[in-house]
Amino acid sequence: MDTVLLGGLNQGLLWGVMAIGVYITYRLLDFADLTCEGSFALGGAVAASLIQNSGWHGLPVCFIALLAGAAAGLVTALLHTKLKIAPILSGIITLTALYSVTLITMDNKASIGLINVPLFYSVFGGMMSRYSILIMALICVAGVIAACYWFFGTEIGSAIRATGANEKMCRAQGINTDNTKIIGLMLSNALIALSGALVAQEQGTASWTTGQGAIVAGLASVIIGEVILPSNSNFAVTLGGVVVGSVIYRIIYALVYYIGLPTEYIKLSTAVLVVIALCLPAIRTKGAALVKKLDNYLREKYPKYADYARRRDEKKAAKKEAERLRLLGTISSLTEQLGTCTDKNTVKKLSAKLVRTKEKYVEKYGSKALDEANETQEALSVAPTGGEDR
Query: Averaged over 75-101, what is the pLDDT?
Result: 94
Instruction: Please tell me the predicted confidence (pLDDT) of residue 127.
Output: 47
Q: Is pLDDT at 17 greater than 90 in this prediction?
A: yes
End-to-end CA distance of the chain: 82
Of residues 376 and 46, which shows the higher confidence score? 46
From residue 29, give the alpha-carbon distance in Å to each of 24, 159, 184, 375: 6, 10, 7, 31
Q: Is pLDDT at 117 greater than 80 in this prediction?
A: yes
Of residues 366 and 247, which shows the higher confidence score? 247
Tens digit of each residue's pLDDT (9 = 90 or more) over 231-248: 667 888 899 999 999 998
SS3 274: helix
Query: Averaged over 22-51, what is the pLDDT?
Result: 93
Spatial distance between the Cα atoms of 101 and 280, rounded to a whole number of angstroms: 37
Spatial distance between the Cα atoms of 213 and 210, rounded to a whole number of angstroms: 8
Percent of the chain with pLDDT over 70: 91
When the pLDDT of each residue in the chain is averaged and rounded to a whole number, the result is: 85
Q: Is pLDDT at 211 greater than 90 in this prediction?
A: no
Q: Is pLDDT at 364 greater than 80 in this prediction?
A: no
Are 26 and 164 a contacting pair, CB within 8 Å?
A: no
Query: Averaged over 212-227, what is the pLDDT?
Result: 86
Query: Averaged over 167-171, what is the pLDDT?
Result: 86
Q: Model-level pTM?
A: 0.77
Of residues 262 and 39, which shows the higher confidence score? 39
Q: Is pLDDT at 20 greater than 90 in this prediction?
A: yes
Instruction: Please tell me the predicted confidence (pLDDT) of residue 185.
Output: 96
Query: Averaged over 47-63, what is the pLDDT?
Result: 91
Q: Which helix (H) or strand (E) holds 111?
A: strand 111-113
Domains of the chain, by residue range, sit at 2-217, 322-381
Tens digit of each residue's pLDDT (9 = 90 or more) over 261-300: 777 777 787 778 778 877 877 887 888 889 989 988 988 8
Q: How many helices (H) and strands (E) does the chain have?
A: 14, 2
Of the pLDDT bands very low, low, confident and very high (cuts 50, 70, 90), residue 381 is: low
Highest mean pLDDT among 171-185, 229-243, 275-289, 352-366: 171-185
Are 83 and 180 a contacting pair, CB within 8 Å?
A: no
